Amino acid sequence: MMEVYNKLEQLGMSETIAKIYRALLEKRELSAMEIHELTGVPRTKIYEIAQKMILRGMCIEKRIGRSKKYQAVAPKRLFDILLEESELEHARKVDLAESLLSTLSPIYELGSQNADVSDYIEYIKDAPSIHERYTSLVRNAEFEILSFSKPPYAYQNLAKKRKEQEDQQISKLSSGILCKVIYEYKDKSPEDLYLPHSEISIEAGLQVRFLEQLPVKMIVFDRRYVLIAMRNSESTITPLTMLLVDHPSLASAMSILFNTLWDNGINLNEYKKLFNIKIK
């Protein structure tokens, strides 16, 4: 029964009105006293609520001599009324939103001119936070992830965390997101080169290229967010501090840089042939 009341409430009826309507449906017509006995709604409230239901077209009042009885309208008529009310309420909210938009937009524009750099730059300093922020960005990506991959890596020696990152990326690949990575291999023998993405990711659709040197370790998400790595000094506990910049203009510029370097890179087969190795 509560499920029925919940659904009626979602359509715009209060729980009390839903109880009264349900009672009227079952008994066809009831007096205020009979409604009180069936629903537990105080009798003094029933007259007020019934009048509201009549005005909304949810029930009708019948006079039999000096007494009054109430009768429910058919469910189809009720739902037409509720949907019409919902549409009118939606239209009212749209009008209100448009009115507020014209008032608040100039205030927002003025505030944007005085935006602090901290409004669009986030510093991430420890490895667990870097991992969580990265996986969140991958999870929420909508169409494109472009990566410059080079040492150091926050989780180079922790296979579980690397697998979490790889699984997240494979999930996005399976949903049709474009994922491209350029790996740096400068000063690394083939045996020492750390690749955070296995050939399982490549088989799932990850596109890869290789360059001897990359200018920066960075990932661009949906041409909006740029995650940039800054190498810490040797004396610090973690090798990286990450900057997350929410800035579409910067992201677009970094996407152009990525595509330029991508065109200059070698593909996986060329990389294997260059070092005579098989990537696992």
The secondary structure element, H or E, covering residue 67 is strand 67-72
Residue 105 has a pLDDT of: 73
Beta strand 240-246 with 225-231 is: antiparallel
Q: What is the pLDDT of residues 166-206, one digit of tens each?
A: 788 888 888 889 999 998 887 554 444 545 456 778 888 88
Residues of the chain with pLDDT > 90, as a percent, come to 26
With CA atoms as reference, report the closest residue to 208 among 277, 258, 135, 141: 258
Average pLDDT over residues 233-253: 78
Phi, psi of 131 (to 5 degrees): -60, -50
DSSP label at residue 205: T
Q: Residue 232 pLDDT > 80, yes or no?
A: no
The Cα–Cα gap between 165 and 230 comes to 20
Q: What is the largest CA-CA distance in the chain?
A: 102
Confidence of residue 118 (pLDDT cuts 50, 70, 90): low
The answer to pTM > 0.75 is: no
Full set of structural domains in the chain with CATH: 2-74 (1.10.10.10), 117-275 (3.30.870.10)
Average pLDDT over residues 103-130: 71
Residue 65 has a pLDDT of: 78
Partner residues linked to 225 by β-bridges: 221, 246
Q: What is the pLDDT of residues 136-159, one digit of tens each?
A: 999 899 999 999 988 776 555 556
Over the range 122-145, which residues count as b (16 or more CB within 10 Å of their CB) and which as e? eebeebeebbeebbebbeebeebb
Residue 231 makes CB contacts below 8 A (sequence gap 6+) with 152, 239, 240
Greater model confidence, 3 or 42: 42
- Quote the radius of gyration of the chain (alpha carbons, Å): 32
